[in-house]
Amino acid sequence: MLGGWTVLPEPVIITQSMLAFEPPLSIEQLELAARQIRQDIIFMIHTAGAGHPGGSLSAADIVTALYFRVMRVDPRNPQWPDRDRFILSKGHACPVWYAALAERGFFDRSHLATLRRLDSILQGHADMRKTPGVDMTVGSLGQGFSVGIGMALSGKLRHKDYHVYVIIGDGESQEGAIWEAAMAGAKWGLDNLTVILDNNGIQNDTFTRDVMPVEPLAEKWRAFRWNVIEIDGHNMQEIVLALESVKSIKDRPTIIIAGTVKGKGVSFMENVPAWHGTAPDNEQAAIALAEIARGLR
């Protein structure tokens, strides 16, 4: 039934582990959860035969920390008005979002095998009307961030204490609208908004520095009057500390610039531009799942 799994050596699969834990997870549990999410990503994209593994894997630790430790959400009530919001503005990486939502219990894991198929609840880029837990439809780069500005303004207007988390990419930072939103976040002092920049250094064509350099990012965001935190986006301790620290920042929004590795966790995908938007074949998927299970160092 789950075609992608059948080619794999049995012991490497970490199945169903996450539902055994009740959030918030410890750092060690989060690291294990992130491995599960990464396996789900490989499985989904391999099964679909298309998708974006590189940017999904680079964001996996951050998304895991958000859904299993930091964010206040209720999988049984995805539309809960007081929930924290999450927007994956770099929407092509939605397999990481779907994996986290499935593991968190928003929908059954069996849906993961339907990514990009006809009649699936899991569209090639996320659709809020089809997928439980998806707070905004994304896919056209540079828009999800602005949507987060709107959600945060609404929270302020209504004196709600929900927090809005948005993940953007370094390639996405070439969109002019990102900087429109950056100005707006500072103007309204949106301390209920946190942007995490998944700075994996690679975009669709090749390395970001070669396509259109976006650095120095920290200086840019400081100049836009944001609270800037720089972390290793694969160090769970640093991710959690950064995300939990933003609650004490008042009157300005925070950007966490997370240094990440595109394709993180799979040796042959790491830092290779070709894995931005290519699905692994059977053999590659088997190797990838085994490596993730072992945990690369």
Partner 1 sequence: MSAPNSRYNFVLPAIVADLGRENPFAGAHMEATRYSYAAALLELGELNPDVVVLDADVSKSMRTSDFARRFPERSFNFGIAEQNMMAAAAGMATTHLIPFASTYAVFASLRALDQIRNSIHYPRLNVKIAASHSGLTPGPDGVTHHGQEDLSILRAIANSTIVAPADSITAKQAVFAAAAWDGPVYLSFTRDPIPTLYGPDFPFRIGKAVVVREGSDATIIALRDLVAHALVAAERLAHEGLDVRVVDCHTLKPLDVPCVLQAARETGAIVTAEDNVIFGGLGSAVAEVLVENEPIPMQRIGVRDIFTESGPYLALLEKYGLSARHIVDATRQVIVRKRQR
The residues binding partner 1 (CB under 8 A) are 81, 85, 127-129, 135-137, 139-140, 142-155, 157-158, 176-177, 180-181, 183-184, 188
Distance CA 169, CA 127 (A): 19
Instruction: Using the minimum distance from each CB to partner 1, give the nearer residue, 29 or 137.
Output: 137
- In whole angstroms, the minimum distance from the beta carbon of 129 to partner 1 comes to 6
- In whole angstroms, the minimum distance from the beta carbon of 7 to partner 1 comes to 36
Instruction: Using the minimum distance from each CB to partner 1, give the nearer residue, 11 or 176.
Output: 176
Structure-token pair, residue 176: 């002019």
Instruction: Using the minimum distance from each CB to partner 1, give the nearer residue, 30 or 151.
Output: 151
Q: How many CB atoms lie within 10 A of CB 59?
A: 30
Q: How many CB atoms lie within 10 A of CB 22?
A: 8
Distance CA 18, CA 109 (A): 11
- In whole angstroms, the minimum distance from the beta carbon of 181 to partner 1 comes to 5
Name the 3-class secondary structure at 105. coil
Name the 3-class secondary structure at 256. strand
- In whole angstroms, the minimum distance from the beta carbon of 18 to partner 1 comes to 27
Instruction: Using the minimum distance from each CB to partner 1, give the nearer residue, 194 or 284.
Output: 194
- In whole angstroms, the minimum distance from the beta carbon of 94 to partner 1 comes to 14
- Residue 212 is classified by DSSP as S
Residue 164 phi/psi, 5-degree rounding, is: -110, 125
Length of the chain in terms of residues written: 297
Which residue intervals of the chain are DSSP H helices?
A: 27-48, 53-58, 60-65, 94-104, 143-157, 176-187, 208-211, 217-223, 236-245, 282-294
- In whole angstroms, the minimum distance from the beta carbon of 148 to partner 1 comes to 6
Q: Using the Cα atoms of residue 98, residue 102, residue 108 and residue 112 in order, give the sign of their dihedral.
A: positive
Provide CB contacts within 8 A for 222, sequence distance 6+: 228
Instruction: Using the minimum distance from each CB to partner 1, give the nearer residue, 158 or 250.
Output: 158
Instruction: Using the minimum distance from each CB to partner 1, give the nearer residue, 37 or 149.
Output: 149
* Torsion from C-alpha of 21, 24, 25, 31, nearest 10 degrees: 120
- The amino acid that residue 2 corresponds to is L
- In whole angstroms, the minimum distance from the beta carbon of 80 to partner 1 comes to 12
Instruction: Using the minimum distance from each CB to partner 1, give the nearer residue, 40 or 135.
Output: 135
Distance CA 43, CA 55 (A): 15
Instruction: Using the minimum distance from each CB to partner 1, give the nearer residue, 125 or 252.
Output: 125
- In whole angstroms, the minimum distance from the beta carbon of 115 to partner 1 comes to 19
